[in-house]
Amino acid sequence: MSRRHFLRAAGGLAAGAALPAAAQSNRILPVQDIAPLIARITGGRPVEKRDVTVELPSLAENGNSVPLRIRVASPMSATDLVTDLHVFAERNPRPFVAAYHFGPVVARAQVDTRIRLAVEQRVLVIAALTGGRFLSGETHVVVTSAACIDEGI
Amino acid sequence: MALARLQVSPSVRAGEAVEVRLLVQHPMETGFRRESDGRAVPMNVVNSLVCRLGAVEVLRAEFGSGVSANPYLSFWIVPPASGELVVEWVDDAGVKGRVAATIAVT
C-alpha cells in the first residue's frame, strides 16, 4: 500500500469514528421503560405534571457529576406537604437514581444533590404528597462527556 | 474508611429554616467499571441513608448507581428543639458510616 492510500484510508476511519459519538451513545443506551417503577410508587394513581421544578444545567460537561436541584411548590404545612421525591433518568443503565423521604422537620420541599447521567436525556422527578396525590416534573439535559459508558454494554 | 462532612449552622432561632449539607466520601461504584487488568469492579453504592434529630427522623434516602461519587445532599429543616443531628448510612458491602453535628435552638 502506498503512503497516499494509507493516509486516505486512515483519515476516513478517523472521521467515521469521531463523528456520531453522541448518536452512538444514544443507540447503546435506549430509553428504558420506567412505567413499572413509577407504578410501584403511585400504585396506579394519576400523576399531575406541575409544580415540580427540576433544575439541571441544560448542558452538562461531565456526566459523572451533574448538579441537580429539585423544588416542589408546596406550603409544607402539617396537612399539605411533600412526603417523598423519586428521581429517574431513563437512559441511564439503571434508571433509578435516588429517592428521598421527608419527615415532619423538613422545612422546604427542596433537595440539592449531584447525579450521574450516561447520555443526553430526560430527568424525571415524581413527588408524593399527602392525601395520595402525585406531581411530576422533568428536564432535558445534554451531556457532552458521558458517565459509565466506557464499558461496551 | 467512611469519611463525611455534615455542615449545619450551630445555632438557629426557633422556627427558622436552616440548610443541612452533607458530603459522604464514597466511590459509589456503578458495577460498570473495570480495573486496568480487566477485572470488573463490583457495584458498591451507599444504598440507604437516614438523618435523625434526637429521636425524630428528619430524612431518609435511597441511592442507586445514578448518584455521583462522594454523594452530596442538601436539604432544609426547622429544628423544633436543640439536639444532635445524626446521619447514618450503609453501602452495598455492609460498611456503615455515621456523622453528627450539634444544633442549638435559641
User: Residue B2: which pLDDT band, with cuts at 50, 70 and 90?
Assistant: low
Which pLDDT belongs to residue A33? 86
A30-43 tens-digit pLDDT: 788 889 899 999 99
In the Cβ-directed half-sphere of B70, how many Cα atoms lie within 13 Å? Answer: 11
Q: Could you give the percent of chain B with pLDDT greater than 70?
A: 98
Closest Cα in chain A, distance from residue B35 (Å):
11
Q: Which of A62, A105, A116 to mutate to test the interface with B (most CBs of B within 10 A)?
A: A105
- Give all domains of chain B, ordered by start, each with its CATH number: 4-32+41-105 (2.60.40.10)
User: Residue A15: which pLDDT band, with cuts at 50, 70 and 90?
Assistant: low
User: Residue A67: which pLDDT band, with cuts at 50, 70 and 90?
Assistant: very high
Does residue A47 carry a pLDDT above 60? yes
Which residue does chain A place closest to B63, by CA atoms? A98
Instruction: Identify which of A105, A108, A115 has the shortest CB distance to residue B80.
Output: A105
Closest Cα to residue B66, out of A27, A72, A143? A143
Q: Average of pLDDT values for B76-84?
A: 94
Beta bridge partners, A68, equal: A113
Taking all residues of chain A, what is their mean pLDDT, rounded to a whole number?
A: 84
Taking all residues of chain B, what is their mean pLDDT, rounded to a whole number?
A: 93
Which residue does chain B place closest to A111, by CA atoms? B75
Binding-site residues on chain A for chain B (CB distance < 8 A): 64-66, 87, 89, 92-108, 110-117, 148-151, 153
Closest Cα in chain B, distance from residue A8 (Å):
33
Closest Cα in chain A, distance from residue B50 (Å):
9
Closest Cα in chain B, distance from residue A19 (Å):
25
Q: What is the CA radius of gyration of chain A?
A: 20
B9-53 tens-digit pLDDT: 989 999 999 999 999 999 999 988 888 888 989 999 999 999 999
A83-117 tens-digit pLDDT: 999 999 999 999 999 999 999 999 999 999 999 99
- Give all domains of chain A, ordered by start, each with its CATH number: 3-145 (2.60.40.2470)
SS (H, E, C) chain A: CCHHHHHHHHHHHHHHHHCCHHHHHHHHCCCCCCHHHHHHHHCCCCEECCCEEEECCCEEEECCCEEEEEEECCCCCCCCCEEEEEEEECCCCCCEEEEEEECCCEEEEEEEEEECCCCCEEEEEEEEECCCEEEEEEEEEEEEECCCCCCCC
Q: Choose the weakest-confidence range: A26-30, A38-42, A79-83, B79-83.
A: A26-30
Which pLDDT belongs to residue A153? 39
Cell readout for A30 is 435506549
Beta bridge partners, A6, equal: none
